[in-house]
């Protein structure tokens, strides 16, 4: 048993022991506790007939979520929740290189085609993520792509993948997380394989290739760590704005900035969240003629109290405060959470709680029941200025 499994088992033991200590619950009934949290009245309200997609649409905003094909195909309760709550769907993985282009001469669109079909059958729009990133690259890219063939490889990939879905896409995250000021380049760019292979113009090239393959899709630059009043978020915002200015000055076909918005990692959101500073950044981006999309919104609860009602309310408060600032900006056109239900979230592994308790980071709980976070989002859509 490797160290990671030992830690996981210990965390789970601590969690179940903690619950058992709460009221003499056995470990088994304690484990069931988190599956019937709504039975304890821990959700903010009885299930409502309203939905996130309806309340957002009333203000001209698209709300949606990321999903994994395997989960929607095998979990009817989860799939129904997406159909009810979402008007925009983005594959969490299925359009990345390691999923859709597993070998140099082979593409695999089975999962992404399925997700497109799911979105269409639920009257959702569909967005692609992502065409150029330094992660999720299959082994063959590192083994076979050189400075001599990189432009052809990238051109073939974008023409094939974007071309397949041309006319059916709301938007594409064309380039993902290409800025990292802490790496010290004067242009703030991250040292990625694509930068090494193609030089700084790889970003412009990717956008022009995507526009040629699908003139109808909104083309997005997507990045993280721009939400908080902290030095490395300040530096990121400055560097991203300069990149956007350079691209616009060269008439590159870019239409929007994607703000990933993975919140709560900056361990004290209360102190580090500055709505005025965020609003100014959004206004600066909008002044370039760009739309703004929140693309991967979620809230890690790993530093928050164990007790469910307090934890849920704190998560809801973070959603509320963030969306209140974001939705004030008329250029913001869509809000996408990185998952919909705590049943499936990358945070279960990436930001697991030390006490082993299941994370509670998304609008719906593990039973796909509405949580205070859902209510907070609905309220912010209701209060948002119409687009
Ligand atoms: O399901 C497949 C399985 O069929 C296959 O055999 C296996 C082979 O590796 O991969 C499995 O897919 C995994 C996929 O998640 C499932 O959704 C991949 O291994 C795994 O690498 C992938 O991780 C994703 C990660 O990006 C890397 O692509 C996470 O789910 C996803 O939440 C995360 O999302 C990123 C955004 O794209 C960019 N912003 C940050 C965000 C969080 O890291």
Under a CB-based contact definition with an 8 Å cutoff, are residues 340 and 67 in contact?
yes
309 CB within 6 A, ligand 1: no
Q: Is residue 153 within 8 Å of residue 97, measured between CB atoms?
A: no
Name the residue with tokens 């997380």: 177
- CB of 342 sitting under 6 A from ligand 1: no
Catalytic positions, please?
Answer: 177, 296
User: Mean pLDDT, 10 residues at a time, over the chain (387 residues)?
Assistant: 40 45 37 39 57 98 98 98 98 98 98 98 98 98 98 98 98 98 97 98 98 98 96 96 98 98 79 93 98 98 95 97 98 98 97 96 98 98 97
Report the distance separating Cα 162 and Cα 221, nearest Å.
15
Query: How wide is the angle at C-alpha 34 spanned by C-alphas 26 and 269, nearest 5°?
Result: 130
Listed in sequence order, the DSSP H helices in 24-100 are 27-33, 52-57, 69-74, 76-85, 97-100
Count of CB atoms situated within 10 Å of the CB of 108: 13
Residue of 239, 295, 236 whose CA lies nearest to 263? 295
Whether ligand 1 lies within 6 angstroms of the CB of 173 is answered as: no
How far is residue 251 CA from its own chain's centroid? 27
pLDDT value at position 288? Answer: 98
**pLDDT confidence of residue 268:** 66
| Cα gap 154→243, rounded to integer Å | 21
73 lines ligand 1 (CB under 6 A): no
Task: Spell out a b/e string for 156-182, using b for 16 or more CB atoms within 10 Å of the CB, else e.
Answer: bbbbebbebbeeebbbbbbbbbbbbbe
Residue 64: strand pairing partners: 88, 336
**DSSP sequence for 126-166:** EEEEEEE-SSS--HHHHHH--TTTHHHHHHHHHHHHHHHTT
135 CA to middle of ligand 1, Å? 10
Q: Is 298 in the pocket of ligand 1 (CB under 6 A)?
A: no
Residue closest via CA to ligand 1's atom 43 equals: 346
Question: Whose Cα sits closest to atom 3 in ligand 1?
Answer: 99
What are the C-alpha distances in Å from 339 to residues 28, 111, 329? 28, 17, 24
Does ligand 1 come within 6 angstroms of the Cβ of 133? Answer: no
Q: Given ligand 1 and candidates 68, 346, 348, 351, which is best to mutate, with the most ligand atoms within 8 Å of its CB?
A: 346
Ligand 1 atom, smallest distance to 136 CA: 28
* pLDDT reported for residue 32: 36
Whole-angstrom CA distances from 185 to 106, 195, 200, 308, 373 are 35, 12, 11, 44, 39
- Residue 127 contacts by C-beta under 8 Å, 6 or more apart in sequence? 64, 88, 89, 90, 169, 170, 171, 172, 173, 336
Q: CB under 8 Å to 55, separation ≥6 — which residues? A: 63, 377, 378, 381, 382
Residue 111 in contact with ligand 1 by CB distance below 6 A: no
Q: Residue with the nearest Cα to atom 41 of ligand 1? A: 296
pLDDT for res 269? 62
Read off the pTM. 0.90
CA dihedral 239, 241, 243, 248 (to 10 degrees): -170
List the residue whose alpha carbon is closest to atom 13 of ligand 1: 93
Tell how far the Cα of 66 is from the centroid of ligand 1, in angstroms: 12
Supply the pLDDT for residue 138.
98
From 92, 338, 344, 347, mutation site for ligand 1 pocket: most ligand atoms within 8 A of C-beta: 92
**pLDDT value at residue 4:** 38
Nearest CA to ligand 1 atom 5: 99
The DSSP secondary-structure symbol of 75 reads -
């Amino acid at each position: 048993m490797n160290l990671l499994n030992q830690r996981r088992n210990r965390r789970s033991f601590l969690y179940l022991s903690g619950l058992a200590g709460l009221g003499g619950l056995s470990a088994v009934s304690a484990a069931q506790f988190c599956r019937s949290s709504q039975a304890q009245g821990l959700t903010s309200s009885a299930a409502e007939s309203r939905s996130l997609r309806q309340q957002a649409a009333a203000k001209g905003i698209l709300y949606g979520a990321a999903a994994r094909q395997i989960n929607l195909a095998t979990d009817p309760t989860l799939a129904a929740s997406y159909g009810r709550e979402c008007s925009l769907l983005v594959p969490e993985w299925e359009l990345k290189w390691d999923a859709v282009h597993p070998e140099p001469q082979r593409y695999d669109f089975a999962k992404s085609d399925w997700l497109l079909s799911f979105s269409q059958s639920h009257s959702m729009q569909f967005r692609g993520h992502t065409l150029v990133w330094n992660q999720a690259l299959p082994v063959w890219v590192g083994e076979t792509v050189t400075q001599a063939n990189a432009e052809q490889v990238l051109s073939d990939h974008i023409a094939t993948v974007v071309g397949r879905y041309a006319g059916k896409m709301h938007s594409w995250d064309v380039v993902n997380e290409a800025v990292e000021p802490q790496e010290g380049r004067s242009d703030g760019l991250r040292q990625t394989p694509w930068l090494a292979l193609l030089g700084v113009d790889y970003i412009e090239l990717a956008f022009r290739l995507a526009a040629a393959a699908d003139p109808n899709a909104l083309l997005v630059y997507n990045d993280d760590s721009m939400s908080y009043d902290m030095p490395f978020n300040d530096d990121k915002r400055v560097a991203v704005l300069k990149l956007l200015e350079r691209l616009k000055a060269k008439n590159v076909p870019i239409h929007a900035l994607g703000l990933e918005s993975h919140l709560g990692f900056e361990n004290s959101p209360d102190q580090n969240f500055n709505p005025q500073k965020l609003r100014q950044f959004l206004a600066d981006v909008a002044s370039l003629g760009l739309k703004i999309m929140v693309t991967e919104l979620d809230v890690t609860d790993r530093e928050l109290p164990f007790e469910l009602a307090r934890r849920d309310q704190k998560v809801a408060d973070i959603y509320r405060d963030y969306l209140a600032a974001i939705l004030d900006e008329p250029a913001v056109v869509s809000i996408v959470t990185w998952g919909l239900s705590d049943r499936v979230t990358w945070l279960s592994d990436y930001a697991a709680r030390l006490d082993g308790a299941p994370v509670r980071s998304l609008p719906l709980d593990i039973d796909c029941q509405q949580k205070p976070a859902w209510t907070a989002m609905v309220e912010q859509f209701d209060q948002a200025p119409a687009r």
